[in-house]
A and B are shown apart, each in its own frame.
Chain A
Amino acid sequence: MSQNSWWQRPSVFVAILGDSWRETRDSKVLYVLLGGIVLLLGVVLTARFEPIPGSKQYLQLAARACGVDTDGLDATSLNAMDMAGRLRGALYSLETSETVDDAEDLPGARWRVILRRQGIPLVGGRDTAEQVSERFGKIAEGRLFVVNSIEELEDRTTGLLGIQRWSLLVSAGRDLRVAWPHRMTLFLGVVPLTSDSGAPLGLQIFILYKLLTTGFGAWIMLLVGVVVTSFFVPNMIRKGTLELLLVRPIPRWRLLFYKYLGGLMFALVLLVALVGGAWVATGITAGLWSPTVLWAVPILLLFFGLLYSCSTLVAVITRAPVPAMLMTCLYWVALFIVGILHGQVEISRMESDPANKSQGISLTDLKMNRNGLGPRPRPRQPDRKPLYETTFGQVVESFHAVLPRDRDLDNLMDRQLVKDLALAGPLRDLTSRTGSSAVVGLGITLAHLGGFLFLACWIFSRRDP
């Protein structure tokens, strides 16, 4: 029976996890939350996404992009100014387009397209059909259309003028559907959620994921998780219960650490139910399966782990659940406020940056850089120092430098989601130009989490019961 290493005594770990699981189940909150999640997902399952006919804008975009080297290009920069430096030496345009077999003009259709190339007469080479097949529909890393067949339309006169024309048979590429506007309704079509012109399906699913996982749903889940788990450690270390645990042949820090992991298990169950459920429900209703949303589970679990480590430390010091709960919420609010204020400081810096002015970055861009959550910046007063140069701004930046950044974790999630759900448009900008590094954010979060836990274990190991 004398085995001292934890890997030799997995039964201790399993026993404490089992104890935490029983405590969790006993609180009944778990069942209430799971019931809430099922209800929420049930509502999602009543959603309907109806595509709106109209392929013209995408075919035109695909045609224009044939003349541009879009590799590595940010899709938001697909405007005339940015594309100018990337022109291949010719301009492409769509002459005509129509669906094949009189099919409805929806993503499932095939299209007959006449593509026109206007090059500089007698200068530069001609494009081959293979080159056009490869370029048509490819935008940056995404693909709107695939070319099923291509035929060059010979015309000697226009050829001399540097004009080439092709007839293409194209069908939807893997990214067309996410970019295509859909009309979204809830309760089997009864409650419309978008205008008649609809919105790109990817954007709608992105917003739905944000609401259910990293946004409102996560906020509720984390808050309830903090409240429920704030009782775990105080219950364990109350007089009369603690002695029965400390007398066992296990180091004290391990008892506390395992109990901490037990609390994480509670959050993990809820997060798997919420995020996994959201993934399945949206997959069923929208037919769009983006497994990257499942990254929300470890990312949110990490943030919950941070909050719970704070709760554990306060619980070890005070031995009471209410201070643990309140201090953790205060810590959370403090992180949130510092995040908001730092966003303002960052905006003031970017507004003052001449490089940004020359690139034509607008206030809207800046707002997007802050993940679209912050208040709209006010126009700068010319006679006032920018916020980032003030003492207040520097204090905010100092706090921001050393405190965990929930927004960085959020951005990390968005960055993953956008890869699946946004071919083009402002969504990509949300993640591509964020000022702070997700790696630094992760590092600071882990450092705080580890620091809180270490302190809690150290105090717990040294104090008389």
Chain B
Amino acid sequence: MVVRVENLGKVYGRKPALDGVSLAVAPGEIFGLLGQNGAGKTTLVKILLGLVAPTSGQAWLLDSPVGTAKVREKVGYLPEDHRLPEYHTGPNLLDFYGALQGVPGPVRARRIPELLGQLGLAGRERLKVRGYSKGMKQRLGLAQALLAQPRVLFLDEPTDGVDPVGRRHIRDLLLEERAKGVTLFVNSHLLSEMEQLCDRVAILKNGRIALTGTVADLTRQGDRWQLELASGESWPATLNLAAQEIGPSRYELVLAKDGDIDDVLRGLIGSGVKLRHLERMRSTLEDLYLDVAGGGGA
């Protein structure tokens, strides 16, 4: 496992931020951490990066205890609300962080223009960071996280402030990194992004893992189907199935098992009804998140 956390707890003063959190992230996986503000997401990431010491429990990164210099060399991190020193130009800033990370000079000289190009920041080499837009700063922040070619990337709101085209760009870049075997640990409030990006997610609530699983499993809603018939058509009475009408010529069915939909289709065609659209219903990550994190209060 790239990330392994066992019964992790953190208390700030008297306020618990994490309470018995356990999870594991496999190599090459994109893992999403969801939760309301104050749920403990950032604290968990900071513990994994060795920035904050846990009060109880243990955590490992790349099979080593978190926080060692050896582990940090293999980690990239983009914090939420990061503030890049504004007196640098983009290439200077990357060179500075690269040197701190231990990236050799020739590698930095090669990687920096490459990354700036990949993130759409080429041609702004002489511009100081204070002249960057929020989206550009976000992309520059991502570039510093990627510079040392890390084995694990921790990203806190990686597409915050980035326009839709830029988001798509970043998402593709992260998927490319995953394809290279990099493991990604992502915190974000953009649930649609997380749904498209992550293999697995966990929802933190009040410092505890409230729900965890693959995105596909968590969003499946059993065998609920929606059908749309040709205009003016109605549900045939001959079919011995209770369909709920949800609109003109639109119906929703709840079936007992997966194969029953074939019987329904045969029945419809046998009745001479023309089918125009059929869709298996899934709930969105947002629905799930609101159910778990939003319900019951903090």
Set B72, B81, B84, B87: member contacting A248, Cβ < 8 A: B72
Nearest-neighbour CB distance to chain A for B25, whole angstroms, equals 18
Q: 1/0 per position for B156-191, CB-CB distance to A under 8 A?
A: 000000000000000000000000000000000000
Q: Are A465 and B51 in contact (CB under 8 A)?
A: yes
Set B79, B103, B105: member contacting A243, Cβ < 8 A: B79
Contact partners of A69 in chain B: CB under 8 A: none
Q: Are B70 and A18 in contact (CB under 8 A)?
A: no
Q: Which residue of B lies closest to A13 (CB)?
A: B99
A100 to B135, CA, bound (A): 84
Q: Are B104 and A12 in contact (CB under 8 A)?
A: no
Q: Are B82 and A243 in contact (CB under 8 A)?
A: yes
A207 to B180, CA, bound (A): 70
Which residues of A, 5-44, contact B by the 8 Å Cβ criterion?
A: 9, 11-12, 14-16, 18-19, 22-23, 25-26
Contact partners of B102 in chain A: CB under 8 A: 1-3, 9, 11-12, 248-249
Query: Is A238 on the interface with B (CB-CB < 8 A)?
Result: yes
Contact partners of A3 in chain B: CB under 8 A: 102
Q: Are B100 and A245 in contact (CB under 8 A)?
A: yes
Query: Is B289 on the interface with A (CB-CB < 8 A)?
Result: no
Q: How large is the interface on A (under 10, 10 to 19, 20 to 34, 35 or more residues)?
A: 20 to 34
Q: 1/0 per position for B42-68, CB-CB distance to A under 8 A?
A: 000010010111000000000000000
Query: Is A382 on the interface with B (CB-CB < 8 A)?
Result: no
Q: Which residue of A lies closest to B71 (CB)?
A: A249
Set A238, A240, A250, A464: member contacting B100, Cβ < 8 A: A250
Q: 1/0 per position for B32-49, CB-CB distance to A under 8 A?
A: 000000000000001001
Query: Is B88 on the interface with A (CB-CB < 8 A)?
Result: yes
Query: Is B85 on the interface with A (CB-CB < 8 A)?
Result: yes
Query: Is B144 on the interface with A (CB-CB < 8 A)?
Result: yes
Q: Are B87 and A240 in contact (CB under 8 A)?
A: no
Contact partners of A4 in chain B: CB under 8 A: 69
Query: Is A160 on the interface with B (CB-CB < 8 A)?
Result: no
A464 to B49, CA, bound (A): 12
Contact partners of A122 in chain B: CB under 8 A: none
Q: Which residue of B lies closest to A9 (CB)?
A: B102
Q: Which residue of A lies closest to B95 (CB)?
A: A15
Q: Are B81 and A247 in contact (CB under 8 A)?
A: no
**Footprint of A on B, CB under 8 Å?**
12, 46, 49, 51-53, 69-70, 72-73, 75, 77, 79, 81-88, 92, 95-97, 99-105, 128, 141, 144, 148
26 sampled A-B residue pairs with Cβ under 8 A: A1-B73, A1-B104, A2-B73, A4-B69, A12-B100, A15-B95, A15-B96, A15-B100, A18-B96, A19-B85, A19-B96, A25-B87, A26-B128, A239-B83, A240-B79, A240-B82, A240-B83, A243-B49, A243-B51, A247-B77, A248-B72, A248-B101, A249-B72, A249-B73, A249-B102, A251-B69
| 5 extra interface residue pairs, beta carbon distance < 8 Å, beyond A12-B100, A249-B101, A464-B46 | A16-B100, A241-B83, A247-B51, A251-B69, A464-B53
